[in-house]
Amino acid sequence: MDKFLYKKEILIDDSGWGDLILGVVIGALKLPEHRYMERRIPISSFQPPNFQNKRYLEDAVKIAEEIVKVMQPDDETVFNVCSGYVLSSVRNYLRKQGFRVEEIEVTGELQEMVERSFANWCKEVGIEFERLEGKRSFNTFLEWVAEKPHLREKLVKTGWKSWNQRWRERAYNMRQ
């Protein structure tokens, strides 16, 4: 075996990074207690000028600070953090604090919890549950934005170059 087995671990995962709308949900699950917490990186962090300044990475670190405060890890705790880019600052922060951190692909219980949290956020802003069921995709969100682009663009990750170069015009023209 090339890995140690730890009795205490905190898993961290995210959802929403690649989605057209909203921000990102970061969730943490402490085992073996099954204590769960989640926080959101707001959509404003993915819009100009914050997106270009990578504000979402700063927000992720603030969430990591809160995870440490709430979950109270000790010397026997390992952090298993998803390998996604938005969590790179979390991994770096935790390592600088002296914690053991492993970069992993999160599956199972935590992944389902975080995905469900992002879906609930979508419902909060008015995306019908049926629309999300089994087909959360870029085109699904683009079609939803296109139904009322003047109202819904404020929920889009407008910091993406592709939004201004391609998708914005398409969203505004889909309803004509």
pLDDT at 129: 62
Q: Kindly list the domain boundaries of the chain, sorted by start residue.
A: 8-169
At 105, phi and psi to the nearest 5?
Answer: -100, 115
Model confidence pTM above 0.75: yes
pLDDT at 1: 42
Pick the CATH number of 8-169 from 3.40.50.300, 3.30.43.10, 3.30.420.10, 3.90.1150.10: 3.30.420.10
Q: How many CA atoms lie within 13 A of 166 on its CB side?
A: 5
What is the spatial order of strands in the sheet that 24-31 belongs to? 35-41, 24-31, 8-15, 77-82, 100-104
pLDDT at 7: 79
pLDDT at 155: 96
Return per-residue pLDDT of the chain as tens, 176 residues. Answer: 445 555 799 999 999 999 999 999 999 999 988 999 999 999 999 999 999 999 999 999 999 999 999 999 998 899 999 999 999 999 999 999 999 999 988 888 999 999 999 999 999 998 876 666 666 678 889 999 999 999 999 999 999 999 989 999 999 988 65
pLDDT at 56: 98
At 37, phi and psi to the nearest 5?
Answer: -145, 155
Largest Cα span, the chain: 61
